[in-house]
């Protein structure tokens, strides 16, 4: 199932930043975000399951789809939130989660998004002197994760906090 923006008052950004449970809350609290959905993107299997993706064999990454109001929130601000919540220099995954399914990516839909992502990465590299491992890729199908993964931090706050603390985020 492909995530799409519903109207001109809504845009869509898709970011992979390791465990999707940990990437969802920072976007949910940002004014101008209408909805977030956790799921899988970038792979070769249609409608993958968590078990398939977590095996690291499908090519998918755990990701978050962010529906937002571009009149209230810029794509550049979304990139800032994304980079503030990941380790952009780790090519093997994020924090304790290692494997291709936990690597970072920005899925772009147009040249403006690509240019903004390239500028953000160039800024990080200039500031740190290190190569950013986050890739920029064309947006492809996004498959929502199973319902128990959606808003996990709200449904299971104690387990989520234990995981987040234990993960090193």
Q: Which residues are catalytic?
A: 19
Helical residues (DSSP H) of the chain, grouped into ranges: 20-28, 50-54, 75-84, 111-128, 152-155, 157-167
Residue among 7, 134, 119 at smallest CA distance from 82: 134
Between CA 115 and CA 108 the distance in angstroms is 9
Between CA 32 and CA 67 the distance in angstroms is 9
3-state secondary structure of 80: helix
Q: Is 37 buried (19+), middle (13-18) or exposed (0-12) by CB count in 10 A?
A: buried
């Amino acid at each position: 199932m492909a995530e799409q923006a519903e109207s001109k008052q809504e845009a869509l950004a898709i970011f992979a930043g390791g465990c999707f449970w940990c990437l969802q809350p920072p976007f949910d609290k940002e004014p101008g975000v209408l909805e977030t959905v956790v799921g899988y993107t970038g792979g070769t299997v249609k409608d993958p399951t968590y078990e398939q993706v977590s095996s690291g064999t499908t090519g998918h990454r755990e990701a978050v789809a962010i529906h937002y109001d571009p009149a209230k929130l810029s794509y550049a601000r979304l990139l800032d939130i994304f980079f503030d919540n990941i380790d952009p220099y780790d090519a093997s995954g994020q924090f304790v989660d290692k494997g291709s399914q936990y690597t970072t990516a920005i899925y772009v839909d147009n040249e403006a998004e690509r240019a903004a992502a390239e500028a953000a990465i160039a800024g990080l590299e200039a500031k740190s002197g290190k190569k950013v491992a986050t890739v920029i890729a064309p947006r492809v199908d996004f498959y929502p994760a199973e319902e128990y993964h959606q808003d996990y931090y709200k449904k299971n706050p104690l387990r989520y906090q234990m995981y987040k603390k234990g993960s090193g985020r």
